[in-house]
A and B are shown apart, each in its own frame.
Chain A
Amino acid sequence: MLVPALVGLAFLVLPVVAVLLRTPWAALPHQLARSEVLESLRLSLVSATLATTLCLLLGVPLAWVLARSELRGRGLVRALVTVPLVLPPVVDGVALLLLLGRRGVLGQYLDAWFGISLPFSTAAVVIAEAFVAMPFLVISVEGALRAADRRYDDAAATLGASRWLTFRRVTLPLVAPGVAAGAALSFARALGEFGATITFAGSFPGVTRTMPLSVYLALETDPDAAVVLSVVLLVVSVLVLATLRGRWLSGVPR
């Protein structure tokens, strides 16, 4: 058992080590100071943050309905929620384009009635990222809600708390670790999002060219820059992982 386990660990760790080995550390400050790098880093962080916020606003209520309501067909809803998770990201992008594109099922009305065109805008980046990241949040929060003792809701009700007050003051604080974990996962997923973004939002510098897109493009023209960008993404991802530390690296969730 030990040998395959070590091979497995090496398989997961060595590529990351390779990135660090080949990082042109001397050129790092210079590379980092380049405006395109900073621009796409900023865009990545802003869009991933917005996407995570969108996931929280829509995903937490969705998780609550899945975990707490007596709705019929919840199993189907749960299956639908995980669709973006199992589809290839490029297909996610195509799907978004077909729905929200200028000639899309809904997009044509957005364009005709409000003059709004989503594709190839920063908003499209946020939508693409939220689309692929939300299932992580919903699944995580739903699990936390299921694990939480529903009788606390009963206790709050006998104390005169409305459903909304109970949700805010009792349920949400009780599942806060689950929400945080879901948000961190969503953020990490949104930060790394490539396929849906490039399909639905394209790759315009400063508008839709996020870090993963920059890495991919740089690899063709300036491999050193690609490595630097990769290191930056790596650092940000490790930071996200660190926020999950208490929950996962220490083993059993609360």
Chain B
Amino acid sequence: MTGLHARVGVERPGFTLDLPLDVAPGEVVALLGPNGAGKTTTLRALAGLVSLTAGIVELDGVPLDDPARDVFVRAEDRPLGMVFQDYLLFPHLTALENVAFGPRARGTARSAARDQARAWLARVGLAEVASAHPSALSGGQAQRVALARALVTEPRLLLLDEPLAALDAVTRLAVRSDLRRHLTEFAGTTVLVTHDPVDAMVLADRIVVVEDGRVVQEGAPADVARAPRTEYVARLVGLNLVRGTAHGTTVRIDGGGVLHVSGPAEGEVLVAFAPSAVALHRERPTAGSPRNTWEGRIGGMEQHADVIRVSVDSQPPVLADVTTAAVADLDLTPGSRVYATLKATETQVYPA
């Protein structure tokens, strides 16, 4: 079997990681999750920088870590490349020497290693900074050098730890599309870790959402964005998420309340709806079209692009996007009593 076959089990005091992960050659999988979910530990375990306490790591059919059979291949003997969160370019070496380090360490002659390094620097568009030290590189350049350093040895497994987190918004856009191109060209298996949903959506073929050491959702980026399965994922992709029990077009919400939804369903369901679908009123709206109304107080307000995102402490709690004009008209401030309404047609229902 080719590609990565892993079940990453790491047991630490107060933390258990148990993550099945199968990635085909050429595929890019993003581990998406909050800080402390175990994403980086997973990456370090795949790299051989942390050893498993349970499970297995197998690459192209070769076991790299199998505690049950006492197999452990050290990081330096694994065919992998890794890009670290803040790149960790060796500060005392030039960009060229940084990229040539891998081939040299793996036994390539000095001049051949330099040729390979030069070719890779050219490939990431950085031929002109070959003799610069990392301190003289911009964030975007450092990221590209780190990528070249990881790919120059033609690894079978590429690991990226928050590859774009250290970049400012503008650079990030450019580097992200470049990175996507390089990942598409890369024939091996790629696992990347991020807490940014946009990075995951743009770069990955498949998203694995990790929370508290476990997989809570897995699927194509579009599916994850459309139908989040946990509060965390919903928040990431900017949706409200309610859990409940459906009977026809009525959902009895866990924790109290009822929601009228668009399509009929039965049993345990999740209901997702966009904050922009939620409207706020100061007076109780008169009954009319099939819509949902909650009463609550405004918990917080924050600017979100060109709208104000208002969180309403109601049952269930919801996020609503309103215009600046509406905030002024309705005199909305934290603590204000409001009514939130939502049309049933704006909801999406799917089995829990």
Contacts and interface: CB of A to CB of B under 8 A. Distances in A.
A152 B81 CA distance: 14
Given A161-B101, A161-B105, A155 B76 contact: no
Contacts of A17: none
Interface stretch (A7-15, A93-101, A168-176): A168-176
Contacts of B48: 157
Q: Which of A158, A160, A176 neighbours the largest number of chain B CB atoms within 10 Å of its CB? A: A158
Contact of A157 (B74, B90, B150, B153): B74
B247 interface: no
Interface string A4-29: 00000000000000000000000000
Interface in B63-99: 74-78, 80-82, 84, 88, 90-92
Interface residues of B, number: 25
B105 A156 contact: yes
A91 to B, nearest CB: 41
Given A154-B75, A155-B82, A165-B105, A160 B153 contact: yes
Contacts of A173: 90, 92
Contacts of A152: 88, 90
Contacts of A151: 84, 88
A159 B106 CA distance: 8
Given A154-B49, A154-B75, A169-B101, A159 B149 contact: yes
B102 interface: yes
A160 B92 contact: no
Nearest to A157: B75
Nearest to B88: A155
Nearest to B79: A160
B37 to A, nearest CB: 20
A160 B80 CA distance: 9
Contact of B102 (A149, A154, A160): A160
A161 B76 contact: yes
Contacts, number: 61
A-side interface mostly: helix
Contacts of B92: 173-174, 176
Given A156-B105, A160-B106, A149 B76 contact: no
B88 A159 contact: no
B47 interface: yes
A243 interface: no
Nearest to A152: B88
B101 A156 contact: yes
Interface in B287-332: none
A160 B150 CA distance: 11
A162 B90 CA distance: 16
A158 B81 contact: yes
Contact of A159 (B74, B91, B101, B159): B101
Interface in A133-156: 149, 151-152, 154-156
Contacts of A169: 101
Contacts of A159: 76, 81, 101-102, 105-106, 149, 153
A85 B253 CA distance: 71
A161 B103 CA distance: 10
A160 B88 contact: no
B76 A157 contact: yes
A156 B48 CA distance: 12
A126 B140 CA distance: 52
Interface string B41-70: 000100111000000000000000000000
B84 A162 contact: no
A158 B75 contact: yes
Contacts of B101: 156, 159, 161, 169
Interface of A: 149, 151-152, 154-162, 165, 169-170, 173-174, 176
Interface of B: 44, 47-49, 74-78, 80-82, 84, 88, 90-92, 101-102, 105-106, 149-150, 153, 159
Query: Which 10 residue pairs of A and B lie closest in terms of their CB atoms, listed nearest first?
Result: A157-B75, A159-B102, A161-B105, A158-B82, A160-B105, A155-B88, A160-B106, A173-B92, A157-B76, A160-B76
25 contacts: A155-B84, A156-B105, A157-B49, A157-B75, A157-B76, A158-B47, A158-B49, A158-B78, A158-B81, A158-B82, A158-B150, A159-B101, A159-B106, A159-B153, A160-B76, A160-B102, A160-B105, A160-B106, A162-B76, A165-B105, A169-B101, A170-B90, A173-B92, A174-B90, A174-B92
Given A154-B88, A162-B76, 5 more contacts: A152-B90, A156-B101, A156-B105, A158-B75, A160-B76
